[in-house]
Structure 1
Amino acid sequence: MKNPNYNPLKKRLASRFLKAMGRLKCKMSPFPATIEEKRRRHRAVRGAAYASMASAVGPRRAWSRALLRKMKGRKRARRNPRNVDERFGLNLNQLCDVVPGGEGMDSRSLLNETAHYIKCLVAQVQIMREILHSSSSSSTTL
């Protein structure tokens, strides 16, 4: 019988995120003193979260390829977006801006990628909450 709580994406994401956070922990001071250090830590954690999410999914999704390219510092030429879906009259400009790599997709692909991206973001938030909950409960018992 399959465990209903088992999610291979969450497992890969959690594993990669914890490894990335372990690498960051070695590079940073335990208590940031200045605002700039706090901002640097925030950007590093956000980058680790995005990198772990994109690498857990792999290159089969356009948004993960776009994130991986961005982290490697490579840019891709932008294609003209299809801003309006004639069938529904939807303006997709804002969605193109939110989903990594969304600027060059047609409306159907954009909506498909957006659904998958949201699923991964939800998994990422759940994992971060679980890590925070386990670390705060373990620190109170010490």
Structure 2
Amino acid sequence: MLMGVSGCGKSSVGEAMQRLTGLPYLDGDDLHPAANVAKMAAGIPLTDEDRWPWLDRVADMLAKRAPVAIGCSALKRIYRERLRAGAAGPVTFVHLSGSRDLIGNRMAARTGHFMPSALLDSQFATLEPPEGEAGAITVSIDQPTEAIALEIAQQLGL
């Protein structure tokens, strides 16, 4: 599970990992209900109640398609616990970690994504980094995408 705030590179890293290791990658954003996408596109942060059905869809994909890498923000520990419970097997969370400035600059440069950079502060406010959690690693995104993918593959033994 590639996790982190919007704009941290989950999709880019997931695609690079797929090229590097052959592990299939799915973008969790594609599993959001339409109402969630509309809220975020309007600059309205999601609530926990908004996220539960989405997290259940992500967990269902983990259960049905494992082994697979999925990009999913998984910002709170309780979200990660729900994903683990629904996955029907072990889940490793890879926190793609970067500074607010680095991620903000990346978000400002991307086009065609429903998540506006105005919601980045709410993402950081919600984020509970997984330090000390079993089954979680943190990787700095302050390096080229291919290097991030290689570091993850090495840490996971892929």
Relative to the length of structure 2, the TM-score reads: 0.29
Name the one with the larger strand percent.
2
Q: Which has the higher contact order (CA 8 A, sep 6+)?
A: 2
Structure whose residues are more often helix by fraction: 1
